[in-house]
């Protein structure tokens, strides 16, 4: 693999022709399904950042998003597709991280090259940018199904994740999420959304409208059993500000956070995980409640509170983090 990284760096530096990279072999490695029941952090890495790609599988993010959309210049998009295909095809997926490729919008001149060049790497999911209607999902669903059939893969092997970045997308979100059983996560692109709605970015921190958008997004995602991922925080050096934003987004019901730096990943994982105290309490509630069920009781009292099925289910959800 070191040879691949050296080739990539030399091609980017115009020291070698891209044909040298094209000749690098592709040997598809083991593909295990993503095993975690949660998505606390989603680290975004551009496909032309060879230096960052070297260490990316050693990061603690639950999701790694390999980007060939707006984080990669038009000039570098062909290189990013080729390098990612070589890199991911020759890398085994052990199931501890969800491997996602973010492609350009359906109506983009780059979409077809993205899909045809990168699907052979068989990622866990494809993230489609700037989704606006259920029809967008139906089109991509058909492409994924045809690819899976051609490769002898089980239908639904490759999941769908969505970037929600426009007013039309927010308006149609419920219909969009119902368009495919493959959809397992959606990302709120609130900067793009405000630009699309012709609203000042300053309103993001001062307007109740921004929270309304976040709440509407989270509620719709949760109603459709889809993970809701909060927007990236652009000032990557302001970790205190990042933590405050993540804590607020957790209160609003988000499942995780888009991250653009490794330090952000650690904070997102911490905030979106239950505390050790919460885990211990959840273990006790589950133990006592299941004992009560075996005795034919419908509920228990724990620390002066009545515990019934909804609280028991909440405790089980918290223990998913502990078991993973």
DSSP β-ladder status, 305-307 and 300-302: antiparallel
Q: CA-to-CA distance for 81 and 79, rounded, in angstroms?
A: 6
* 15 annotated to bind ligand: no
Strands (E), the chain: 41-46, 63-67, 98-103, 125-128, 159-164, 183-188, 227-230, 256-259, 300-302, 305-307
Residue 266 CA to residue 262 CA, distance in Å, equals: 7
What separation in angstroms does the CA of 107 have from each of 111, 122, 123, 140, 143? 7, 23, 22, 12, 15
Q: Compute the distance between CA of residue 51 and CA of residue 211 in angstroms, rounded to an integer.
A: 37
Instruction: Compute φ and ψ for 186, nearest 5 degrees.
Output: -135, 145
Is 102 annotated as a binding-site member? yes
Query: 87: closest CA among 147, 45, 43, 133?
Result: 45
DSSP 177: H
DSSP string, 195-251: HHTT--TTHHHH-HHHHHHHHHHHHHHHHTT-EEEEPP-S-TT-HHHHHHHHHHHHH
Q: Are 88 and 123 in contact (CB under 8 A)?
A: yes
Radius of gyration of the chain (CA): 21
10 Å CB burial of residue 17 (0-12, 13-18, 19+) is: exposed
The answer for 138, left when phi > 0, alpha when psi is -120 to 50, beta otherwise, is alpha
192 is in an annotated binding site: yes
Distance CA 179, CA 175 (A): 6
Query: Which residues line the annotated binding site for Mg(2+)?
Result: 165, 192
Query: Which residues line the annotated binding site for substrate?
Result: 102, 165
């Amino acid at each position: 693999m070191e040879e691949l990284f050296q080739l990539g760096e030399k091609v980017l530096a115009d020291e070698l022709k891209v044909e040298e990279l094209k000749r690098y072999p592709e040997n598809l490695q083991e593909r295990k399904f993503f095993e975690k029941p949660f998505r606390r952090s989603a680290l975004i890495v551009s496909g032309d950042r060879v230096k960052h790609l070297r260490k990316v599988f050693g990061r603690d993010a639950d999701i790694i998003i390999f980007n060939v959309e707006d984080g990669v210049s038009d000039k570098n998009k062909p290189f990013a597709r080729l390098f990612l295909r070589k890199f991911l095809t020759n890398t085994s997926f052990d199931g501890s991280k969800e491997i996602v490729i973010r492609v350009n919008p359906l109506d983009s001149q780059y979409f077809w090259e993205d899909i045809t060049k990168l699907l052979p790497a068989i990622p866990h999911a494809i993230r489609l940018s700037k989704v606006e209607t259920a029809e967008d999902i139906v089109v991509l669903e058909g492409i994924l199904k045809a690819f899976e059939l051609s490769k002898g893969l089980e239908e639904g092997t490759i999941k769908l994740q969505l970037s929600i970045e426009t007013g039309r997308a927010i308006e149609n979100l419920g219909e969009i999420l119902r368009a495919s059983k493959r959809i397992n996560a959606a990302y709120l692109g609130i900067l793009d959304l405000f630009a699309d709605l012709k609203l000042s970015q300053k309103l993001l921190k001062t307007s109740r409208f921004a929270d309304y958008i976040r709440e509407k997004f989270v509620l719709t995602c949760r109603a459709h059993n889809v993970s809701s991922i909060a927007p990236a925080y652009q000032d990557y050096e302001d970790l205190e500000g990042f933590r405050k934003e993540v804590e607020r987004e957790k209160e609003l019901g988000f499942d995780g956070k888009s991250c653009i730096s490794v330090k952000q990943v650690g904070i997102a994982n911490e905030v979106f995980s239950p505390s050790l105290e919460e885990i211990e309490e959840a273990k006790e509630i589950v133990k006592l409640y299941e004992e009560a069920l075996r005795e034919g009781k419908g509920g228990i009292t724990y620390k002066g509170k009545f515990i019934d099925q909804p609280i028991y289910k909440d405790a089980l959800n918290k223990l998913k983090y502990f078991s993973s």
